[in-house]
Amino acid sequence: MKVKTWLSMMAAALTVFAVQAQDMSEEAIAERIKPMGDVHVAGAASESAAAGGGGAMSGEDVYNQACVACHGAGVLGAPKLQVAADWQPRLDERGLDGIWQNALDGINAMPPRGTCGQCSDDEIKAAIEYMIEGI
Ligand code: HEC
């Protein structure tokens, strides 16, 4: 009888643990799909957002946090950092405002806001300006 009681307690404990483990893994997945090195910067960003702005990230910061994962090496055909041949045709066709809008909305394999959900429109624009700087 005692063993049975113990077993059912263990089962209950395991159920609780399993539920928690699932929550954890959702968080873990959210963490995993963020670009590397993002955790600290993202914390700082949401702190400044919570404080009512005034702490906008530079374009380079946003790029390094959210965009480098794809735009660094041209993953999935993403136009690469400061490579004119990748960016110029897009700028010719749509202009800065056009590619900015597509970055906000997402286009093909480009996710909306490049996965930077907490980035402001202006921070996304700054990241684009950084990516096309000097081309
Ligand atoms: C998951 C990979 C991925 C991430 C992360 C990502 N991009 Fe992209 N991006 C792409 C791909 C792929 C394209 C090319 C889409 C196409 O034209 O088919 C693209 C295209 C773009 C374009 C050109 C849009 C146009 O109209 O031609 C801009 C601007 C852009 N990304 C900005 C950003 C910014 C800013 C970030 C970070 C905040 C970012 N991207 C993060 C994959 C990514």
Q: What is the pLDDT of residues 71-109, one digit of tens each?
A: 999 999 999 999 999 999 999 999 999 999 999 999 999
Regarding the beta carbon of 42 and ligand 1, being less than 6 Å apart is answered: no
Q: Report how far Cα 61 is from the mean position of its chain's Cα atoms.
A: 12
CB 115 within 8 A of CB 38: no
Regarding the beta carbon of 107 and ligand 1, being less than 6 Å apart is answered: yes
Which residue is closest in CA terms to ligand 1's atom 13? 78
Which residue is closest in CA terms to ligand 1's atom 2? 70
Amino acid at 110: M
Residue linked to tokens 């490579």: 83
Question: Which residues fall within 8 angstroms of residue 109, CB to CB, at 6 or more apart?
Answer: 70, 76, 77, 78
What was the pLDDT predicted at 27?
A: 57
Is residue 50 pLDDT above 80, yes or no?
Answer: no
Regarding the beta carbon of 75 and ligand 1, being less than 6 Å apart is answered: yes
- Over its C-alpha atoms, the chain yields an Rg (Å, rounded) of 21
Regarding the beta carbon of 112 and ligand 1, being less than 6 Å apart is answered: no
